C-alpha cells in the first residue's frame, strides 16, 4: 500500500505542475495605434472575437478587421500581460460590433479554440496511445490467512500493466474510446507453490475532455465497460495446472495529456478496473474440470494502475 501512496503522490505532483503552467496573451494593434493585450477566442477574415480582464471582470469584445492593423498571437507572457493597461471600455465600444446571431459562436464552445495567424485551430478529434506502468490488485486476503500466506499474497498483488487505446471526439469535450489493457504478476512462495497471473481488459468507453488555457494540456476522464479474460498458470502443493475464466468488468480512468510536439503528447493516467469471477475452468494433464466458487469465495479482479504513455494526436 506504501507503493500505491507513492505513485499517487507522483500523479498529484504532475497534475499540479501542468495546471500551474503559465499561458501567453495575444496582442491586437488597431489602426489608430491602440495596443490590446487579450486572449483571442475566434479569428476570421472579417472580425476578431477576443476577451480580456478589467476590474476583475471578464469582458468579451469583437473588432472588425477593417479597424485592425495587426494581430500577434502569443505576444505576451502572463507576467508581461499583467503589466499592460487593459483597454479602455469606452474607446473599444465605438469600434465593436454585435455578431450576427447565425454566425455568433457560443463563447463556451469557441473558448476551446485558439487562433494562429488568422486560422482557426480546432482541437484534435483522434487520439491514439500506448502506455505502461505499475498496477496493484485490490482484493482482500482471506480472514484465516497465516502471516506467511499474507506476505506471499502482498507480493502477488503488485504487478505491471501495459496497454493501448484510441479515442474519437466528435465534439470538443465528449468522445468515445476503445481500450486494450493487460495486467501481469508473478509470485513463488516455495518450490511447491507459485502463480503466474494474467488479467486482460478489452472494452469501450464514453469520455470527457477539458483543455486548460494554454491549449496544450488537457484532462481526459472515461468510464469503461468491457470483457475481462483471466489466466493463472499455477503450482499448488507440487501439482501444476492452469485456471482460465472470463467475466464482464468496468472501470474509470483520469489522465492528463501535455503536448510536447504538434501531434504528440505525454500522458499520465490513473485507472481502476473492477470485476469478479465465480467459476474457473481447470486444465490438468489434458483433463478439464469446471470449478464453481461459493459467493464468499469469488475471485476479485479489482486493481488500480498508474501508467505513463505517448499519445498521437490527429
Q: Is position 15 within any domain?
A: no
Q: Is position 8 within any domain?
A: no
Indicate if 163 and 53 belong to the same structural domain. Answer: no
Q: Is the pLDDT of residue 118 over 80?
A: no
Q: Is the pLDDT of residue 92 over 80?
A: no
The whole-number pLDDT of residue 295 equals: 81
pLDDT averaged over every residue in the chain: 80
Q: Is the pLDDT of residue 220 over 70?
A: yes
Indicate if 59 and 134 belong to the same structural domain. Answer: no
Q: Is position 16 within any domain?
A: no
Of 121, 139, 167, which residue constitutes the final position of a domain?
A: 121
What CATH number corresponds to the domain at position 206?
Answer: 2.40.160.20
Q: Is the pLDDT of residue 188 over 70?
A: yes
Indicate if 96 and 132 belong to the same structural domain. Answer: no
**HEC profile of the chain:** CHHHHHHHHHHHHHHHHHHCCCCEEEEEEECCCCEEEEEEEEECCCEEEEEEEECCEEEEEEEEHHHEEEEEEEEEEHHHHHHCCCCCHHHHHCCECCCCCCCCCCHHHHCCCEEECCEEECCCCEEEEEEEEEEEECCCCCCCCCHHHHHHHHHHHEEEEEEEEEEECCCCCEEEEEEEEEEEEEEEEECCEEEEEEEEEEEEEEEEEEECCCCCEEEEEEEEEEEEEEEEEEEECCEEEEEEEEEEEEEEEEEEEEEEECCEEEEEEEEEEECEECEEEEEECCEEEEEECCHHHCEECCEEEEEEEEEEEC
The whole-number pLDDT of residue 305 equals: 97
The whole-number pLDDT of residue 274 equals: 96
The whole-number pLDDT of residue 51 equals: 85
What is the domain extent for residue 180? 124-313
Number of domains in the chain: 2
Q: Is position 17 within any domain?
A: no
What is the mean predicted confidence (pLDDT) over 154-175? 95
Q: Is the pLDDT of residue 187 over 80?
A: yes
Indicate if 159 and 96 belong to the same structural domain. Answer: no
The whole-number pLDDT of residue 174 equals: 96
Q: Is position 274 within any domain?
A: yes
Q: Is the pLDDT of residue 176 over 70?
A: yes
Q: Is position 33 within any domain?
A: yes
Of 87, 121, 155, which residue constitutes the final position of a domain?
A: 121
The whole-number pLDDT of residue 215 equals: 86
Say what percent of the chain tops pLDDT 70. Answer: 76
Q: How confident is the model at residue 82 (pLDDT cuts 50, 70, 90)?
A: very low
Of 73, 101, 121, which residue constitutes the final position of a domain?
A: 121
Q: Is the pLDDT of residue 1 over 80?
A: no
Q: Is position 9 within any domain?
A: no
Q: Is the pLDDT of residue 84 over 80?
A: no
Q: Is position 171 within any domain?
A: yes
Q: Is the pLDDT of residue 132 over 70?
A: yes
Q: How confident is the model at residue 200 (pLDDT cuts 50, 70, 90)?
A: very high
Indicate if 182 and 83 belong to the same structural domain. Answer: no
Indicate if 221 and 263 belong to the same structural domain. Answer: yes
Indicate if 33 and 177 belong to the same structural domain. Answer: no
Task: Kindly report, residue by residue over 64-80, the tens digit of the pLDDT.
Answer: 998 998 888 877 654 44
Amino acid at each position: 500500500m506504501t507503493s500505491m501512496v507513492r505513485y499517487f503522490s507522483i500523479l498529484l505532483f504532475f497534475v499540479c505542475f501542468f495546471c500551474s503552467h503559465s499561458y501567453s496573451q495575444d496582442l491586437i494593434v488597431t489602426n489608430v495605434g491602440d495596443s490590446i493585450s487579450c486572449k483571442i477566442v475566434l479569428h476570421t477574415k472579417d472580425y476578431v472575437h477576443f476577451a480580456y480582464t478589467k476590474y476583475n471582470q471578464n469582458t468579451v469584445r469583437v473588432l472588425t478587421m477593417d479597424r485592425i492593423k495587426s494581430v500577434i498571437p502569443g505576444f505576451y507572457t502572463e507576467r508581461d500581460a499583467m503589466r499592460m493597461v487593459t483597454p479602455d471600455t469606452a474607446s473599444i465600444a465605438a469600434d465593436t460590433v454585435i455578431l450576427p446571431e447565425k454566425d455568433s459562436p457560443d463563447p463556451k464552445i469557441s473558448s476551446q479554440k485558439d487562433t494562429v495567424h488568422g486560422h482557426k485551430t480546432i482541437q484534435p478529434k483522434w487520439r491514439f496511445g500506448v502506455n505502461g506502468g505499475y498496477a496493484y490488485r485490490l482484493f482482500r486476503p482471506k480472514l484465516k490467512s497465516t502471516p506467511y500466506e499474507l506476505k506471499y499474497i502482498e507480493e502477488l498483488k503488485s504487478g505491471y500493466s501495459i496497454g493501448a487505446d484510441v479515442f474519437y471526439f466528435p465534439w470538443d469535450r465528449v468522445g468515445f474510446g476503445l481500450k486494450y489493457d493487460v495486467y501481469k504478476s508473478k509470485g513463488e512462495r516455495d518450490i511447491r507453490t507459485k502463480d503466474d497471473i494474467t488479467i486482460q481488459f478489452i472494452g469501450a468507453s464514453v469520455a470527457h475532455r477539458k483543455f486548460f488555457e494554454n491549449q496544450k494540456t488537457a484532462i481526459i476522464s472515461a468510464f469503461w465497460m468491457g470483457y475481462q479474460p483471466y489466466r493463472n498458470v499455477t503450482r499448488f502443493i507440487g501439482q501444476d495446472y492452469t485456471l482460465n475464466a472470463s467475466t464482464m468488468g468496468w472501470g474509470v480512468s483520469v489522465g492528463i495529456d501535455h503536448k510536447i510536439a504538434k501531434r504528440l503528447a505525454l500522458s499520465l493516467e490513473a485507472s481502476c478496473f473492477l470485476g469478479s469471477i465465480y467459476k474457473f475452468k481447470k486444465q490438468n494433464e489434458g483433463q478439464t474440470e469446471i470449478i464453481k466458487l461459493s459467493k464468499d469465495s469469488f475471485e476479485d479482479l479489482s486493481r488500480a494502475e498508474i501508467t505513463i504513455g505517448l499519445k498521437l494526436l490527429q
